[in-house]
A and B are shown apart, each in its own frame.
Chain A
Amino acid sequence: GPKVLQIPSHQIIDMGQMVTLNCDPVSNHLYFYWYKQILGQQMEFLVNFYNGKVMEKSKLFKDQFSVERPDGSYFTLKIQPTALEDSAVYFCASRRDWGGYAEQFFGPGTRLTVL
């Protein structure tokens, strides 16, 4: 089936540094998401992005977070600066379009460890 890729699979950084997580969504999809899962806890929605804009964000999407997809390349999640509580697995997902009935396809996740 359609594949979403995420780079890197693991990232270890020191608190206060910047990190960028990359997502390569399904090629004809237009609607993109980031989800966060802290180890042993529930998967939670962070943000969705459509037509170059953030459509909705949760309270977990702090001011230090930003997303973009410049020129149809990777869909990225940037955290600057990072904090200890940002340690989690971040999953990217994409959906064909807005509205209607459509499945969200998930990437394998990026495990972020903030020391």
Chain B
Amino acid sequence: GQQVQQSPASLVLQEGENAELQCNFSTSLNSMQWFYQRPEGSLVSLFYNPSGTKQSGRLTSTTVIKERRSSLHISSSQITDSGTYLCAMERGGGSGNKLIFGTGTLLSVKP
């Protein structure tokens, strides 16, 4: 089964609304990263967040390793926030530090 579960799969917001994206992991993890994938496919790294809370502008990431979950909060959404948000976990302990990606949340922000 999927080791990384992202929810929701898709989300439609009105501009200005907030969003909460979730990532749950079925196995223990070493760290995790959040990415924004542009419509043309390139990746933008949002957060490298092994644990705790990190903020960058309107984005906040919270990772709780013990509970195997991470969230990405987007406040005051803008049309340019539209795209796909990916979370990825890195497993420790001899797994080669590869990232295991979720299936993504497709966000659409309407005017």
**Chain B contacts to A: CB under 8 angstroms:** 30-31, 33, 35, 41-43, 45, 48, 50, 86, 88, 90, 95-104
Contacts and interface: CB of A to CB of B under 8 A. Distances in A.
A4 B82 CA distance: 24
Interface of A: 1, 31, 33, 35, 37, 42-45, 48, 55-56, 89, 91, 93, 95, 98-99, 101-106, 108-109, 111
Given A99-B97, A109-B43, 15 more contacts: A33-B98, A35-B101, A43-B88, A44-B101, A48-B96, A48-B97, A56-B95, A91-B43, A95-B97, A98-B97, A101-B50, A103-B45, A104-B97, A106-B35, A111-B41
11 contacts: A1-B45, A35-B99, A35-B101, A42-B101, A45-B98, A48-B96, A48-B97, A95-B97, A103-B45, A104-B97, A109-B42
Q: Tell me the dominant secondary structure on chain A's binding face.
A: strand
B42 A108 contact: yes
A35 B97 CA distance: 13
A43 B101 contact: yes
Contact of A45 (B33, B43, B99): B99
Nearest to A97: B97
Contacts of B102: 42
Contacts of B30: 101
Contacts of B31: 101
Given A42-B104, A43-B86, A43-B88, A104 B99 contact: yes
A17 B109 CA distance: 42
A60 B86 CA distance: 21
A89 B98 CA distance: 18
Contact of B98 (A42, A48, A105): A48
A109 B40 CA distance: 10
Nearest to B99: A104
A41 to B, nearest CB: 8
Contacts of A104: 33, 90, 97, 99
A7 B96 CA distance: 25
Contacts of A44: 101
